Amino acid sequence: MTVIYETNVVELGDMVESFYDDQMIILFEIGAPEEMREYCVLHEKNQLHDEIQVDDTLYIGEESYKVTAVGSAVNKNLNQLGHITLSFYGKTEPDLPGYLCLENKKIKPVIEGNSIKILRG
C-alpha cells in the first residue's frame, strides 16, 4: 500500500455533524477562515505525497471509502489549503471542482484524533 495523503483531525466545527445527512464532510487545515471553522473537520500535518486517483481508498480512522471521482481542483486545494469536500454519493463525476467523490456509504462520525489517509494498492 502506498500512502498518497495523510493528516490528523484536531478539531471539529459545531456544524460538522449536520452535513452527515447530506453525505458530506468539509476538510480544512488548521488556520481555516473563521467563517468556515464551524462547518469543517480541521486537521494538521497536511501531507499530499501524490495525486489522488479514482480507486484509491480514503480512511477516516479504521473506516474505508473507495474514491469514485476526483474534482479538478482537489489535489491543488488539498496540497495548498488542506481544503476539500468529501462527497459520499458514489458519483463518477464531481458536482464541483473541489469535491472528492467516495462510494455511497454511511458516514461513520469523525472524532478528534482520527487519522485521515488515502492509500493506493
Residue 45 confidence (pLDDT): 81
φ, ψ dihedrals at 15, nearest 5° = -100, 0
Q: What is the pLDDT of residues 29-82, one digit of tens each?
A: 998 899 999 999 999 988 899 999 999 999 999 999 999 999 999 999 999 999
* Structural domains in the chain plus CATH codes: 2-120 (2.40.33.40)
Q: What is the pLDDT of residues 80-104, one digit of tens each?
A: 999 999 999 999 999 999 999 999 9
- 10 Å Cβ neighbour count for 64? 14
Clarify whether 43 is annotated catalytic: yes
Residue 106 confidence (pLDDT): 93
Cα 56 from Cα 79, distance rounded (Å): 17
Closest by Cα among 22, 6, 45, 24 to 110: 24
Cβ–Cβ < 8 Å for 121, 15: no
Residue 46 confidence (pLDDT): 84
Of 9, 43, 67, 107, the catalytic one is 43
